[in-house]
C-alpha cells in the first residue's frame, strides 16, 4: 500500500436528490522495478471504473440518454434527473460507447438518403434482423464494393433501380442475388404514366360528363359567342388559347410554355384547362361551395319575391346553412341582373390525378372515379393502352409471376409511347433483378423504414451532426429499441 485517498463518485439521483459517493480507496505500488506503473488505485467491482467519476449505473444512464436525445436534449433530460452535464460532455460520452460487433448479413438492404443539400449517403441494413449495419457519406459503387469485399457472405442484396448500387454489388459480391424492389418498380412506372397523361392533356377534359344543355340555352350561347367573336378581348383570348394548346397538347409543361410565350404560369394553366376559348373570355363557373345544397331553395325564395340578401341569409341559417352573409349576397347578384344562379362546374383532372386513376386498382375506385376513368379511356386510345399495360404489371406483382415479363417489356417497347419505351429499356438491362423482385418475398421496405428513422435522428440534431455521430446514434438507438421496446412491462402486486 502506497497511501489512501478519497474518491468522489457521482451516482443516480435518490428520491429526487443528487447523490455523491465518497469512497476511501487505497493507492498501491508494484515492487517490480521494471513495471511502468509507479502507483495504481484499487477498484471496487460494480462501483468504480478506471479514470471515471461516475458509477457504472450513472454512466449507463448518461450514455442511454445521449443515444436517445443527443446533445442538447440529453443535457436537458439529465438536468431534470439531477445530473449536471453539458451537451459536449453528453456527446463525448456517446461517442465512447462501442458499436455492437458487425455480423455479415445473409440478406442485405442497400439504399441512399439525403444527408444535406445535394449530398447523399448510403445506408446498409440487415434485412433479417431489421437492424442498421453502417452508413457513410456518398453513394458511389466503389465504397459499396469495398465494404462487400471486406464482409463476404452476403447471399441476397435488396436495392432500388440505381445503376451505381447495381455495379457496386456486382463487383463486391458477384455471387449475391440482386433483388430490385417492387415499390421502386411501381413508383418508376407511375411516373412514366404521369408523363403519358401530361402529353395527352387535350384528352383530360373528356373525363367530365357532357353538360345537359337545352335548345334555348344552346341558341343563347351561340348568339352570345357570335356577338363576342369580333371584339378585341375575344381575338386576344382565341390567339392565346391556340398558342397555349399548341404547346401543352404535345406534352409541354405549364412552366415551359409560360417561358416560351412570356406569360405567367397561372395564365397558361387557365388557358390549358379551358376546353374552348369562350370559357376564358367569360368568367368560368365557380368552384363548389357550402351554399350549393341550398341553391334550389334560394331560387324558390327569389321567385316568391324575396330579394333581400340579408333576409335570405337569415332564412338559410334556419335551414342549417353555416356560411357567411357575403356568400349569399354574391350568389344572388346574377339574379338581380336577370341571369340564372351561378352553378358550380367540375374541373378536368390534372395529369397527376389521371395517372392516379390509372395506377390504382379498379376495385378501389369509387363510382365517381370509375365513370370518369371509363369516359377518359374511351376517348384516348393511348391512355387506354397505358391502363392495360399497367394492369398487366399489377397482375404480375399480385401473382408473384415473372413469366409474362419479357412479353410485357415487348409490349411496352411496341406501344409507341416514349415514356413507356424508356421504362422497357431500363428494365431490360436489369431484368434478372426485376424478376427476383416480382417473385421473391424480399424487398427494401426495411430500408425505407430505417431511412425514415435516420432522418428523424438527423433533424433532432438540427442537421449539425457529422457522419460519425449520426452513424453512432442510428446504430445504437436501433439496438436500444430492440432491447427495451419489445419487453412488456409487468406490474408488481
The pLDDT of residue 230 is 61
Number of domains in the chain: 4
Dist CA 103 CA 126 (whole Å) = 9
Q: Indicate whether 465 belongs to any domain.
A: yes
For 211-266, what is each residue's pLDDT tens digit? Answer: 544 444 444 444 444 444 567 777 888 888 899 999 988 888 899 999 999 999 98
Q: Is residue 274 domain-resident?
A: no
Is residue 49 very low, low, confident or very high in pLDDT (cuts 50, 70, 90)? Answer: confident
Q: Which of 96, 118, 151 is the last residue of a domain?
A: 96
What's the pLDDT tens digit per position in 122-173? 999 999 999 999 999 998 899 999 999 999 999 999 998 888 999 999 999 9
Strand spans (E) along 355-456: none
Give the residue-averaged pLDDT of 22-42: 85
For residue 492, is pLDDT > 60? no
Structure confidence at residue 251 (pLDDT): 83
Question: How confident is the model over 87-114, as pLDDT tens digits?
Answer: 889 888 889 889 999 999 999 999 999 8
Choosing from 32, 61, 96, the residue where a domain stops is 96
Q: Is residue 259 part of a domain?
A: no
Cell of 281: 373570355
How confident is the model at residue 282, as a pLDDT?
Answer: 55
Residue 74: C-alpha distances to residues 9, 57, 63, 468 (Å) = 21, 16, 9, 18
Co-location of 312 and 385 in the same domain: no
> In this structure, what CATH number is given to the domain that contains residue 450?
3.30.420.10
DSSP secondary structure letter of residue 293: G
Lowest-pLDDT choice from 21-25, 70-74, 401-405: 70-74
Same domain, 434 and 447: no
Calculate mean pLDDT across residues 442-450.
89
The answer to which of 25-34, 233-242, 244-253, 482-491 has the lowest mean pLDDT is: 482-491
**Span 57-63, mean pLDDT?**
89
Select from 7, 87, 78 the least CA-distant residue to 41. Answer: 7
pLDDT for position 349: 85
DSSP states of 158-227? EE-S-HHHHHHHHHH-TTSEEEE-HHHHHHHHHHHHHHHHHHTGGGGGGGSPPP---HHHHHHHHHHHHH
- Say yes or no: 462 and 433 in one domain: no
For helices 467-480 and 445-460, what crossing angle results, to 10°?
120
Q: Are residues 455 and 422 in the same domain?
A: no
Same-domain check for residues 414 and 456: no
Closest residue by Cα to residue 196 from 376, 346, 362, 361? 376
Q: Is the domain of 474 the same as that of 434?
A: no
Query: 396 exposed, middle or buried (CB, 10 Å; 0-12, 13-18, 19+)?
Result: buried
Same domain, 464 and 481: yes
Bridge partners (DSSP) of residue 20 are 10
Q: Which helix (H) or strand (E) segment is 43 a member of? A: none
Cell triple for 135: 452508413
Question: Which DSSP category does 463 fall into?
Answer: T
- Residues 435, 374 within the same domain: yes
> What is the model's pLDDT at position 203?
85
Helix (H, G, I), strand (E, B) or coil at 120: strand
In terms of Cα–Cα distance, which of 481, 489, 493 is closest to 67? Answer: 481
- Quote the percentage of the chain above a pLDDT of 70: 90
Is residue 475 very low, low, confident or very high in pLDDT (cuts 50, 70, 90)? very high
Residue 406 placed within a domain: yes
Integer CA distances (angstroms), 32 to 28, 43, 199, in order: 12, 20, 88
Most confident among 13-17, 180-184, 291-295 (mean pLDDT):
180-184
pLDDT at 210: 65
Range of the domain at 40: 3-96
- The answer to which of 39-43, 281-285, 473-477 has the lowest mean pLDDT is 281-285
For 142, the grid coordinates are 466503389
The residue from 48, 65, 96 where one domain ends is 96
Class of residue 472 by CB neighbours under 10 A (exposed 0-12, middle 13-18, buried 19+)? buried
Considering the domain architecture, whether residues 434 and 448 belong to the same structural domain is answered as no
Amino acid at each position: 500500500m502506497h497511501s489512501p485517498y478519497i474518491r468522489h463518485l457521482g451516482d443516480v439521483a435518490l428520491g429526487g436528490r443528487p447523490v455523491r459517493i465518497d469512497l476511501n480507496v487505497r493507492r498501491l505500488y508494484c515492487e517490480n522495478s521494471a513495471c511502468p506503473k509507479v502507483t495504481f488505485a484499487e477498484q471496487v467491482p460494480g462501483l468504480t471504473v478506471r479514470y471515471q467519476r461516475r458509477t457504472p449505473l450513472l454512466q449507463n444512464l448518461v450514455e442511454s440518454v445521449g443515444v436517445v436525445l443527443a446533445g442538447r436534449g440529453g443535457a436537458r433530460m439529465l438536468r431534470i434527473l439531477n445530473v449536471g452535464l453539458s451537451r459536449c460532455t453528453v456527446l463525448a460520452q456517446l461517442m465512447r460507447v462501442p458499436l455492437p460487433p458487425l455480423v455479415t448479413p445473409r440478406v442485405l438492404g442497400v439504399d441512399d438518403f439525403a444527408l444535406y443539400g445535394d449530398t447523399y449517403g448510403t445506408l446498409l441494413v440487415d434485412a433479417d434482423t431489421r437492424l442498421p449495419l453502417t452508413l457513410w457519406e456518398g453513394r458511389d459503387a466503389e465504397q459499396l464494393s469495398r465494404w462487400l469485399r471486406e464482409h463476404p457472405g452476403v447471399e441476397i442484396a435488396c436495392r432500388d433501380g440505381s445503376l451505381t448500387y447495381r455495379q457496386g454489388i456486382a463487383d463486391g459480391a458477384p455471387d449475391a442475388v440482386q433483388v430490385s424492389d417492387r415499390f421502386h418498380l411501381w413508383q418508376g412506372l407511375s411516373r412514366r404514366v404521369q408523363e403519358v397523361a401530361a402529353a395527352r392533356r387535350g384528352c383530360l377534359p373528356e373525363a367530365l360528363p357532357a353538360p345537359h344543355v337545352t335548345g334555348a340555352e344552346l341558341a343563347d350561347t351561340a348568339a352570345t359567342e357570335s356577338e363576342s367573336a369580333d371584339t378585341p378581348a375575344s381575338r386576344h383570348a382565341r390567339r392565346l388559347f391556340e398558342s397555349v394548346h399548341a404547346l401543352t397538347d404535345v406534352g409541354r409543361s405549364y412552366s415551359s410554355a409560360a417561358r416560351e410565350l412570356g406569360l405567367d404560369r397561372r395564365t397558361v394553366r387557365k388557358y390549358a384547362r379551358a376546353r374552348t376559348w369562350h370559357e376564358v373570355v367569360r368568367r368560368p363557373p365557380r368552384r363548389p361551395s357550402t351554399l350549393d345544397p341550398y341553391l334550389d331553395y334560394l331560387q324558390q325564395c327569389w321567385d316568391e319575391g324575396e330579394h333581400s340578401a340579408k333576409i335570405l341569409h337569415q332564412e338559410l341559417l334556419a335551414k342549417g346553412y353555416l356560411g357567411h352573409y357575403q356568400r349569399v349576397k354574391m350568389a344572388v347578384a346574377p339574379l338581380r341582373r336577370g341571369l340564372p344562379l351561378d352553378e358550380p362546374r367540375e374541373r378536368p383532372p390534372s395529369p397527376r390525378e389521371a395517372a392516379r386513376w390509372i395506377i390504382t386498382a379498379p376495385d378501389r375506385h369509387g363510382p365517381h372515379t370509375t365513370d370518369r376513368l371509363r369516359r377518359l379511356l374511351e376517348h384516348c386510345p393511348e391512355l387506354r393502352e397505358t391502363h392495360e399495360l399497367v394492369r398487366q404489371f399489377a397482375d404480375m406483382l399480385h401473382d408473384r409471376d415473372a413469366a409474362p415479363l419479357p412479353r410485357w417489356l415487348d409490349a411496352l417497347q411496341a406501344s409507341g409511347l416514349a415514356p413507356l419505351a424508356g421504362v422497357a429499356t431500363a428494365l431490360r438491362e436489369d431484368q434478372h433483378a426485376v424478376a427476383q423482385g416480382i417473385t421473391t418475398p424480399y424487398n427494401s421496405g426495411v430500408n425505407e423504414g430505417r431511412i425514415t428513422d435516420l432522418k428523424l435522428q438527423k433533424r433532432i440534431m438540427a442537421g449539425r451532426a457529422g457522419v460519425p455521430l449520426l452513424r453512432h446514434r442510428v446504430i445504437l438507438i436501433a439496438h436500444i429499441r430492440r432491447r427495451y421496446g419489445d419487453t412488456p412491462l409487468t406490474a408488481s402486486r
